[in-house]
Amino acid sequence: MKNWVRRFARIVAFGGNDARVGALIGVTAVALSVAAHETGDSRKFVTHSLSVSGDAKKSKTFSVEDVKTLPSRTLTDVAVISKRGMTMIKSLKGVLLKELLDRADVIAKTNGKTKKTFIVATAADGYTAIFSWNELFNSPIGEGVLVAYEKEGAPVPDTEGRFLLVSAKDYMTGSRHVRWLKSVDVRRIDD
């Protein structure tokens, strides 16, 4: 790789007088730097563990391996829909968010607390999405809210892994498609 860059620099130095060579080099250099920038950016957001927190002292951190021990669910033909258009994901394997919350045991259920409870999903870049307790546990939406660790048969790639949260039953699935999911926090609107 380094040799390659050095050779490239030599071509730049000697090709300086030729406008066509110069233009070609310029375009290639921009393309290379954009590619490098994209991989660099993604890599810095990749998450390898997921923190689930809620009531009082209750909190649990899951590695990808930990999450893989929970009952898995596979969703097929998941659409990512936004104002910009639609892309299709052939398959996503993971654990339902409601299953993960049950396993972490972070939700208080006494004295009608659940109806005031909401769940905040936060990504490594600060992006967030929220779900109400009723939405997850008392509506069909919950069946589509998946914390995925596998996309189309491979670990979720750097561009959105290793934990990717989707809400497959939403109309506009883009807004609750949380790449680089880092934490899930249970909160209540009062008390």
CB of 146 to ligand MTE, least distance (A): 14
Alpha-carbon 137 to chain mean position: 22
* Per CB under 5 A, 82 contacts Mo ion: yes
> To 5 degrees, how large is the angle CA 52–CA 131–CA 123?
50
CB of 177 to Mo ion, least distance (A): 8
Q: Which is nearer to ligand MTE, 75 or 178 (CB)?
A: 178
* Per CB under 6 A, 179 contacts ligand MTE: yes
Q: What are phi and psi of 180, to 5 degrees?
A: 55, 45
Q: How far apart are CA 8 and CA 142, in angstroms?
A: 53
CB of 87 to Mo ion, least distance (A): 12
Residue 90 burial class via C-beta count within 10 angstroms: exposed 0-12, middle 13-18, buried 19 and up? exposed
State whether residue 21 is helix, strand or coil: helix
Residue 105 contact partner, candidates Mo ion, ligand MTE, none, CB within 5 to 8 A by sort of partner: none
* Per CB under 5 A, 15 contacts Mo ion: no
Quote the DSSP letter at residue 145: E
**Per-residue x/- marks for ligand MTE, 89-128, CB under 6 A?**
----------------------------------x-x-x-
User: Where along the sequence are the contacts to Mo ion (CB under 5 A)?
Assistant: 82, 174
